[in-house]
Amino acid sequence: MKKIAFGLTTVALSLAAATSQAGEVEVLHWWTSGGEAAAINVLKEEMVGAGHTWKDFAVAGGGGESAMTVLKSRAIAGNPPSAAQIKGPTIQEWGDLGFLTNLDDVAKAGEWDVVLPRVVSDTMKYGGHYVAAPVNVHRVNWMWANPEVFRKSGASIPTTWKQFIVEAKKIKAAGFTPLAHGGQAWQDATLFEAIALSKGAQFYSSAFIGLSDKALRSKEMVDVFDTFKQMREFVDPGFSGRDWNIATSMVINGDAAMQIMGDWAKGEFTAAGKKAGVDYVCYPAPGTSGAFTFNIDSLAMFKVDGKDKQAAQKDLARLILEPKFQETFNLNKGSIPTRLNMPRDKFDACAQSSMDAFLASSTTGSLVPSMAHGMAVNSMVQGAIFDVVTNFFNDESMTSKEAVDKLARAVKASM
């Protein structure tokens, strides 16, 4: 009896000792599809390697809407996770509410100001202090294509939206679905913003960042809606409500020719064992070759209690920006590292061209935040735009002129 009691005490003591040295991080994220799950696993392994405990808090759902709901309820209850996948203007909203912790010492030690491009580091700061660590940069204006389908239908890869319509008709006549698409509001908006970007980064910025009434009601915007409506006839009848990775699998299987989707789609191709340039090809969305709509994933750090938890949190922030993690994570996820001057030999052709475009567009001013992915406007304005865009895409009777008017009014009402 005594021996057992002694043994139990020892176990309890050693457990207590172990937990006080190594902290626990709880990370809320929505990286749940095949390629994404593999990518986040890298971070998990590194944290475990550093002696910490990783508590995974994954909430499924592509756009992260349900994850944000869970996060809000946890924050209101006074029990936020150590880190959460928050990005863009939402970081500022959380900062305003006073939930985020200061990471300046980690950032200073890791020279974040030097290794990160300005446009990235600015979004990671609240009131001049680092509160979040950037994980990757996604290019949203990508087009993924299955060359086999193009060959069978005798079409060529389009570089403008006009040409897209011509080629898509050929593909449709050959019995394939020209455009793999999922009819969820954010996917409609992704397609819509790619078309808007083809009118120039200047127009894009004044419409979706400046929210200028003039740009929203302009002739260009009417054109954008016209082209957008034409896409409706190139999607298959079952598109409504489909998840993005299912749409990607249509391109992978050779049922569909193209998909307009950010480079996280590449993770799906990789997970299916496909080779870039052979089984699938990547091109900038038609008419946007010089421009880059970015979507930066980041983990914002919340104020947590307990020295061990705080230490683990700092370690997490440090590890995210280390070159090793940046490389492995982004190879799995399909995105590009946020650090500049990374060795790029392991990355495929798509990622390399994305890195080139990222650098080039940041000097020409055509590096713009993605509206569809919550980088440009807050969730209220974004929601208002989504409503108009998705309603227009599905409502056959609405004209582009009406849509433009609705868009301008909806944006104004939500500000």
Residues that bind another protein (CB under 8 A): 65-66, 68-69, 72, 75-76, 93, 97, 183-185, 236-241, 378-380, 382-383, 387, 390-396, 406, 410, 413
Within 10 angstroms of residue 13's Cβ, the number of other Cβ atoms is 10
For residue 139, give the 3-state DSSP assignment.
strand
Give the distance from CA 43 to its chain's centroid: 17
**Measured at the alpha carbon of residue 189, what is the angle toward residues 188 and 195, in degrees to the nearest 5?**
100
CB of 3: closest distance to another protein in angstroms?
Answer: 44
Q: How far apart (Å, rounded) are the C-alpha atoms in residues 90 and 78?
A: 19
- Cβ proximity to another protein: between 244 and 392 the closer is 392
288 to 183, 223, 297: CA distances (angstroms): 23, 16, 22
Q: Which two tokens stand for residue 148?
A: 């086999």
Could you tell me if 142 and 265 are in contact, meaning their C-beta atoms sit under 8 angstroms apart? yes
Q: Which is nearer to another protein, 283 or 302 (CB)?
A: 302
Residue closer to another protein, measured from CB, 365 or 383: 383
> From the CB of 413, what's the least distance to another protein, in Å?
7
- The nearer residue to another protein, 214 or 412, going by C-beta atoms, is 412
In three-state secondary structure terms, 32 is coil
**Cα end-to-end span (Å), the chain:** 70
Name which of 51 and 238 has its Cβ closer to another protein: 238
- Residue 103: CB minimum distance to another protein, A: 22
Least distance from another protein to the Cβ atom of residue 296, Å: 20
Asked whether the beta carbons of 302 and 100 are under 8 A apart, the reply is yes
Q: With b meaning 16 or more CB within 10 Å and e meaning fewer, what string describes 237-252?
A: eebeebebbebbbbbb
| 316 residue type, one letter | L
Nearer to another protein, 63 or 158 (CB): 63
CA 33 to CA 229: how far, in whole Å?
Answer: 29
Choice between 116 and 171, CB closer to another protein: 171
398, 392 in Cβ contact below 8 A?
Answer: yes
24-29 and 53-58: which strand pairing?
Answer: parallel
279 or 387: CB nearest another protein: 387
Smallest gap, in angstroms, from Cβ of residue 126 to another protein? 14
Q: Which of 324, 296, 340 is nearest to 120 (CA)?
A: 296
CB of 134 to another protein, least distance (A): 22
- Min dist. Cβ of residue 202 to another protein (A): 28
Q: Is the Cβ–Cβ distance between 192 and 183 less than 8 Å?
A: no
Shortest gap between Cβ of 61 and another protein (angstroms)?
10
